[in-house]
Structure 1
């Protein structure tokens, strides 16, 4: 059932994004008076096909749903010996002024950005449950620990050290995006956090963050994990260290070696670092009047971690963290503004990350392919409509940014040709276009191969 969910969510996501992208090209082409011969969703053998009686466009749904295209009337693409009627020549793409050609080509990525704005705005307006910005006890020697955080603080605002303008922090997701921007710019930030005694400022020096660390796991590397919740044991493997120590499903972990435990990531980090060494968990067993608190001493089993090759401790228990949530909701105009702002921030982040991958300042492991996209599509669909719409907006932005890269074959490559023509007054020769197209194809194949390799590496963990 999980596999079917992933496939269905992936097909829906790709289908929506491709339709929006190609319809952007189609609508502006029609607006500019260009004749569109075919609008295809997918490649390969047509499954469904019909002809518009008004425009003569052939609409097609093909067998391989990994893209699409809009074929416009163009003198350069006619079959040898074939000619275009004189009446249709003004409606060919190649005879349009350069400004119109730029508008037609740019319309696809722009449509993706507009879709992302609309999706984010819908999520913000409808309201979404997100983890509260409560910090778990940070791991030792992380930036969060060095900043003075001890755990259970609620982060309420964030500002640059040299600025008095504070930005409110409404949820964990909000905190993550603001720290991400600060990490990319290597800023000195000040976080305002509230605990039981009042509100305090914590300086956070993100200039120490390496570019390679700005990835999906960068919050954990900084020492920021959601806290304030409950950490429960949901399963115990037979014969494991956890079972031998007496842990059972339903136990709630309150502390480890005397330090509060409200996050699975922090607990796992301690267990990994104590291979063959005893650790003491303070747990609560039972509910209500029957609840009892007792210590459990266990010795993590030393095992080799396949990912790092190091020896780590494992106890054979499945853990689950339940953190407090808040409902984040905005008015219509504010949602639209935030949707545009989030789309802009993610677009800039994507471009900067890609640039740093090119110059070697960020890992190529950040590239993802269709397998990872399908996996996240399924996971977000199971989390609910808001999560799936947010995922769809994120991929739509990625598609828009990717297509704007100045790589021949992509929309950005064609835009580069037309911008050169607009500046110099001379079109790039067909010979040079052919050479550049081949170079661009090599780049796309290389990027696709890296993304696919990363997908497989994530699947088999090497």
Structure 2
């Protein structure tokens, strides 16, 4: 069932995004007066088609469900070259360079607009996320050394407001990639505000491919370790734990939250722990001996509060659109910066992912819920837009590079140069795809 969900989520995410990309090309081509011969959903052999409109454009469904293309009147291809003089002025290469730029750029722009629309809709609907409140910080952590304390809530990073943990992480990631100081504004657990700064040298040394928040010693705030349920026949029941007990100490050491209690139990299979619990205002001491689950982990069959504090991030229509556009822009720039770091050797090429990893994430987010799945689709739409704008021949970005050179020189790129560039681009694209699939397989196995 998981495999079926993963495949379906992958197809439903990527297929429509590619169709929308091609629709961008199609609509702007029509606006610019170019005749479109075929719009295909899918690649390969045409399995169904119908002709519509004044131009009798062929709308087709092809055998391979992922992908699509727009075939325009184009004299460079004998199959699509104009058959009579009446069509010459509607042929693609006879359009002004600015019209050609608009037609080519319309595909990636359509992907960016989809991302903005999805994010705006999510912001208007409201997204439940962990708050930016900090869990207790280890004294040796970089965050604690900078002056931050557990229980306090981060309200801004480098002047940019944050309302949730994902926004906090995003701003810290920006500082790490740009090698800037991370200046955090915080609201104290008992009132008052203060600021803490992590120096650029420290932030810039973080591994942006890993968990930057964990490297700083920062994690979302968790509730106190209160027992929510005691399952029959478990070590917890035998020890005398009861629903609503609040665990205060384990072997005399204070327990800050549910995660800390779970970690203490897991690390003590077969060992007797002395628990101090608050039960209705009085302290009770209980001996607890976690069972060994056979893998060296202690279990007691007790449910303890551990979910992070959640906030609902919502915006009005205009603010939501602005936030969607801002997030799309920031994600695009971050993607380009990561590509730059890979080219300079500052980031690993293991970050290049392919269809297997994308399908895996599609399945995971679909199982979590609609909001997570739509967030994933928005991110993939941005990635499609950015990747298609890279100046690689055969991609939209490669054609935009040709036309930019034409604007600068006043004449089109020689046909021979274009052919060589196309072949090089195809080779480069195949190498990138091979690397992506290789990385996918390494992650999988």
Q: Does TM, scored on the shorter chain, surpass 0.5?
A: yes
Match of 2:223 in 1: 229
Match of 2:391 in 1: 406
Match of 2:41 in 1: 41
Match of 2:28 in 1: 28
Does the 8 A contact of 1:254 with 1:282 survive in 2?
A: yes
User: C-alpha offsets along residues 177-213 of structure 1, whole Å, 9 cap, x if unaligned?
Assistant: 2212222222221331321354332222243134671
The residue correspondences of 1:36-115 to structure 2 (distance < 5 A) are 36-79=36-79, 84-115=83-114
For the pair 1:365 / 2:350, whether they are aligned, the reply is: yes
> Which runs of 5 or more structure 2 residues have no equivalent in the other structure?
229-234
Inter-partner Cα distance in structure 2 for 1:230 and 1:223: 19
The residue correspondences of 1:20-419 to structure 2 (distance < 5 A) are 20-79=20-79, 84-139=83-138, 141-159=140-158, 166-188=159-181, 189-196=183-190, 198-210=192-204, 213-215=207-209, 217-229=211-223, 258=253, 260-262=255-257, 264=259, 294=286, 296=288, 315=298, 321-419=306-404
Q: C-alpha displacement at 1:70, in angstroms?
A: 1.0
Any idea what SS the aligned residue of 2:185 has? strand
User: C-alpha offsets along residues 359-417 of structure 1, whole Å, 9 cap, x if unaligned?
Assistant: 11012222221112112222222232222221111111111000001111110001000
Inter-partner Cα distance in structure 2 for 1:326 and 1:184: 27
Say if 1:440 and 1:432 are closer, same or farther in 2 by CA, change over 3 A.
same
Does the 8 A contact of 1:283 with 1:295 survive in 2?
A: no
Q: C-alpha displacement at 1:115, in angstroms?
A: 1.0
User: C-alpha offsets along residues 113-167 of structure 1, whole Å, 9 cap, x if unaligned?
Assistant: 11111111111111111111121233564322322334222222333xxxxxx43
Inter-partner Cα distance in structure 2 for 1:364 and 1:75: 39
Match of 1:449 in 2: 434
Say if 1:400 and 1:317 are closer, same or farther in 2 by CA, change over 3 A.
farther
Any idea what SS the aligned residue of 1:76 has? coil
User: C-alpha offsets along residues 275-294 of structure 1, whole Å, 9 cap, x if unaligned?
Assistant: 99989695879x98999774
> Which runs of 5 or more structure 1 residues have no equivalent in the other structure?
160-165, 235-241, 304-312
Say if 1:48 and 1:138 are closer, same or farther in 2 by CA, change over 3 A.
farther
Does the 8 A contact of 2:362 with 2:376 survive in 1?
A: yes
Inter-partner Cα distance in structure 2 for 1:290 and 1:84: 93
Any idea what SS the aligned residue of 2:67 has? strand
Inter-partner Cα distance in structure 2 for 1:337 and 1:439: 39
User: C-alpha offsets along residues 297-344 of structure 1, whole Å, 9 cap, x if unaligned?
Assistant: 7799999xxxxxxxxx85579999411111111111111111111111
Say if 1:424 and 1:296 are closer, same or farther in 2 by CA, change over 3 A.
farther
Q: C-alpha displacement at 1:255, in angstroms?
A: 6.4
Any idea what SS the aligned residue of 2:188 has? strand
For the pair 1:425 / 2:410, whether they are aligned, the reply is: yes
TM-score, normalised relative to structure 1: 0.82
Q: C-alpha displacement at 1:216, in angstroms?
A: 5.2
Q: C-alpha displacement at 1:45, in angstroms?
A: 3.0
Say if 1:142 and 1:433 are closer, same or farther in 2 by CA, change over 3 A.
farther
Inter-partner Cα distance in structure 2 for 1:448 and 1:122: 33
Larger radius of gyration: 2
Inter-partner Cα distance in structure 2 for 1:265 and 1:436: 58
Inter-partner Cα distance in structure 2 for 1:247 and 1:91: 83
RMSD over aligned Cα atoms: 3.8
Does the 8 A contact of 2:39 with 2:59 survive in 1?
A: yes
Any idea what SS the aligned residue of 1:51 has? strand
Inter-partner Cα distance in structure 2 for 1:356 and 1:84: 49
Any idea what SS the aligned residue of 1:119 has? helix
Q: C-alpha displacement at 1:451, in angstroms?
A: 1.7
Any idea what SS the aligned residue of 1:130 has? strand
Match of 1:14 in 2: 14
User: C-alpha offsets along residues 56-99 of structure 1, whole Å, 9 cap, x if unaligned?
Assistant: 2222222323322111110111149x762111111111111111
Does the 8 A contact of 1:125 with 1:335 survive in 2?
A: yes
Report how many residues are paired: 436
Q: C-alpha displacement at 1:229, in angstroms?
A: 2.8
Say if 1:19 and 1:266 are closer, same or farther in 2 by CA, change over 3 A.
farther
Inter-partner Cα distance in structure 2 for 1:40 and 1:102: 22
Q: Which moved more, 1:91-100 or 1:176-185?
A: 176-185
Inter-partner Cα distance in structure 1 for 2:434 and 2:225: 40
Inter-partner Cα distance in structure 1 for 2:20 and 2:43: 16
